[in-house]
A and B are shown apart, each in its own frame.
Chain A
Amino acid sequence: MRVRWLRITCRQAQVLLSEGQDRGLGPLETLRLRLHLTACDWCSKVARHFRFISQAVRRIGS
């Protein structure tokens, strides 16, 4: 219960996953996201998918 304030939803986690590719997340954002990802396989998949999309787009035309 004490860590409830650290919890974020999948919707919030997926915003942070995207923003984490574009800016440095703050320490609290990083902690919240990490805690969420350790417990959420679904968002862990989305994290991998976002990274893959970024790498794939950079290959267009190469």
Chain B
Amino acid sequence: MNAESLQQAVAELRPTLLRIARLQLRNDAWAEDAVSETLVSALEAADRFAGQSQLKTWVVGILKHKIIDQFRRGGREVSIEAAAEAAQVETFDELFTQDGHRVNEPLNWGDPEAAYSRVQFFDILQMCVEELPAALARVFMMREWLEWDTGQICKEAGISATNCFVMLHRARMRLRECLEIRWFARESAA
């Protein structure tokens, strides 16, 4: 790939990068900054792109670092929002009987990995993450997308380990319900 076509290909990734950055940062201005910095870094380091991985994978790797930088710049705001979200009580009472057993049987998702080959599945997954409260989504994405351990999340988000576990549980419960309704129930009905 010559320099010009690489520049073009990197620029074409902008909408995808912006959606990922918004999903993680939940702040449009921060996301714009992280993506702009990513594109500049990718173009500056273009001679180091050996073509051994997909261009998108390489650029998303750079984006991860820029998102982490952005979290650190916005640390105080991230901490305040995370603390406020951690104080919310969510019992999922609608899912359980008074004695703690489930009200409804979860659907059988069959072979869920088959969804990986469907672009629409990732649209639904991202929509479900977008519907999470901002602080919950940030903590969840720190854990699952940035693959941070909970100690690192506690430090960056300024929350206790207990609050972190509670928030991750709430995010997973909400995402499970969302994916079941928006994807797996529709797939099994089709």
B101: which of A10, A18, A19, A57 is its contact (CB, 8 Å)? A10
CB pair A12 B106 closer than 8 Å:
no
Q: Give the A-B contact count at a CB cut-off of 8 A.
A: 99
CB pair A18 B56 closer than 8 Å:
no
Q: How far is the CA of A15 from the CA of B129 in the complex (A)?
A: 19
- Which secondary structure characterizes the binding site on chain B? helix
Q: Which B residues lie at the A interface, using CB under 8 A? A: 16-17, 20, 23, 56-57, 60, 63, 92, 96, 99-102, 105-109, 112-113, 115-116, 121-122, 125-126, 129, 140-141, 143-145, 147, 149-150, 161, 164-165, 168-169, 172-173, 175-176, 179-180
CB pair B147 A58 closer than 8 Å:
yes
A11-B100, A42-B106 are known contacts; what are 7 more A-B pairs with Cβ within 8 Å? A10-B96, A11-B101, A19-B169, A23-B161, A52-B113, A57-B141, A62-B60
Range for the number of chain A residues in contact with chain B: 20 to 34
Most buried by B among A9, A43, A50, A61: A61
Q: Which A residues lie at the B interface, using CB under 8 A? A: 9-12, 14-15, 18-19, 21-23, 41-43, 45-46, 48-50, 52-62
